[in-house]
């Protein structure tokens, strides 16, 4: 699984002119399931997201996690993170999970997140979404959870 994690002051996702998910301070996670990804990878990615210490402590050092701060988590599906740009100018997406499996893993990740964290919002899987965010720092961290 691939995630692109952005520490935000606020973020929201709009679909067809309506807001479907929004948070204040916390993380925006762009999430991509790849072919062959498993539920275990989703669990490992969520554990990393919740425990990653990139929020400032009292001394201003990045030493606090999302769980420590109680911030929001906005999860947005993003199959384009699996883009293969190794040849030509048009990316290929054959590494992305097929839509049905991608949705299942996305839904599984969101269910795990909602069970483990009090403030979880989402985009809309497969929709044409407009993502609005105020990146904090900026802090943007790529995450990849390999099989195993």
pTM of the model: 0.96
Q: Check if 79 is active-site.
A: yes
What are the φ/ψ torsions at residue 48 (nearest 5 degrees)?
-65, -45
What percentage of residues in the chain have a pLDDT greater than 90?
A: 98
Rounded Cα distance between 131 and 82, Å, is: 19
Give the pLDDT confidence score for residue 81 in this predicted structure.
Answer: 97
CATH code for the part of the protein at 2-139? 3.50.80.10
pLDDT category of residue 147 using cuts at 50, 70 and 90: confident
What value does the mean pLDDT take over residues 14-34? 98
Point out the catalytic residue in the list 55, 79, 109, 125.
79
Tell which residue, 113, 90, 94, 91, has the closest CA to residue 3: 113
Give the pLDDT confidence score for residue 146 in this predicted structure.
Answer: 87
pLDDT category of residue 127 using cuts at 50, 70 and 90: very high
Point out the catalytic residue in the list 6, 41, 78, 122.
78
Categorise residue 26: left if φ over 0, alpha if ψ from -120 to 50, beta otherwise: left
What value does the mean pLDDT take over residues 74-95? 96
14 close to 21: Cβ distance less than 8 angstroms: no
């Amino acid at each position: 699984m691939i995630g692109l994690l952005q520490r935000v002051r606020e973020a929201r996702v709009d679909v067809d002119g309506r807001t479907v998910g929004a948070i204040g301070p916390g993380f925006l996670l762009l999430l991509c399931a790849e072919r062959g990804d498993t539920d275990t990878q989703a669990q490992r990615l969520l554990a990393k997201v919740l425990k990653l210490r990139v929020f400032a402590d009292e001394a201003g050092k990045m030493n606090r996690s999302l769980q420590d701060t109680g911030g929001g988590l906005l999860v947005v599906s993003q199959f384009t993170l699996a883009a293969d740009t190794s040849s030509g100018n048009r990316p290929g997406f054959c590494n992305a999970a097929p839509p049905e499996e991608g949705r299942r893993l996305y839904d599984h990740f969101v269910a795990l997140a909602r069970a483990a964290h009090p403030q979880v919002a989402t985009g809309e899987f497969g929709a044409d979404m407009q993502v609005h965010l105020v990146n904090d720092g900026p802090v943007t961290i790529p995450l990849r959870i390999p099989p195993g």
